[in-house]
């Protein structure tokens, strides 16, 4: 497995820990690892490093103690990808504003894998990444939002790991979604 990075624990002694799993899906180079590093470690690394598969942990307190396992799926085998999707509480589909192809790929992956394999209670969110690259846009936020609605409404959050834009909104979405009781049974 990959690196295990953890934010300092917010767990209180004797408190129940609720575990959730987030799966991050998207083409190579769309910024999945950079977004996760901003969420978990509050840092941005300018250097692109291709990911094989990494698992990160994020802990937070919201009435209960939550331990979130975040799986960056780049390079995962089909079998592992399918397992991750089946056991996910939240699936984050990441595409980059400078790659219309990356958007088409998440639409295709959602239709052929995510919607077929995910549990009934698992939630999906799309992340429009690299919004700091204004001059290189191949797809606008409005175009992506319209196309997502055509394929079934899911939330869309615009982010830039580099400038930290939208990362707070994504983290709030994760906290709200993962702290709801009706999600999948806690992962083991």
Stronger pLDDT, 152 or 93, i.e. the higher one = 93
- Position 186 pLDDT exceeds 90: no
Cα 74 → chain centroid: 12
- What length does the chain have? 188
Cα 79 → chain centroid: 19
pLDDT digits (tens, 9 = 90+) for 44-101: 988 877 776 788 888 888 778 889 999 988 766 777 888 899 999 999 999 999 999 9
- Position 1 pLDDT exceeds 70: no
Q: Which two tokens stand for residue 62?
A: 């919201």
Fold category of 4-178 in CATH: Rossmann fold (3.40.50)
- Position 160 pLDDT exceeds 60: yes
pLDDT of residue 100: 96
Q: Which two tokens stand for residue 137?
A: 């846009």
pLDDT digits (tens, 9 = 90+) for 116-148: 999 989 999 999 999 999 789 999 999 999 999
- Position 3 pLDDT exceeds 70: no
pLDDT digits (tens, 9 = 90+) for 20-40: 999 999 998 999 999 999 999
Can you give the residue ranges of every domain in the chain?
A: 4-178
Q: In whole angstroms, what is the distance from residue 24 CA to residue 84 CA? A: 10
């Amino acid at each position: 497995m990959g690196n295990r990075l953890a934010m300092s624990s917010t767990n209180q002694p004797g408190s129940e820990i609720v575990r959730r799993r987030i799966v991050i899906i998207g083409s190579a180079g769309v910024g999945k690892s950079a977004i996760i590093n901003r969420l978990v470690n509050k840092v941005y690394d300018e250097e692109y490093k291709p990911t094989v598969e990494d698992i990160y942990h994020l802990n937070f307190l919201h009435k209960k103690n939550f331990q979130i396992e975040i799986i960056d799926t780049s390079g995962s085998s089909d079998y592992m990808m399918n397992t991750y999707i089946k056991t996910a509480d939240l699936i984050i589909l990441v595409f980059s504003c400078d790659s219309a192809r990356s958007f088409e790929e998440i639409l295709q992956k959602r239709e052929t894998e995510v919607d077929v394999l995910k549990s009934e209670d698992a939630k999906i969110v799309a992340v429009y990444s690299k919004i700091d690259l204004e001059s290189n846009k191949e797809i606008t936020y409005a175009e992506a939002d319209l196309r997502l609605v055509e394929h079934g409404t899911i939330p869309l959050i615009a982010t830039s790991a580099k400038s930290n834009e939208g990362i707070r909104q994504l983290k709030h979405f994760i906290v709200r979604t993962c702290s709801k009781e009706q999600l999948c049974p806690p992962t083991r």
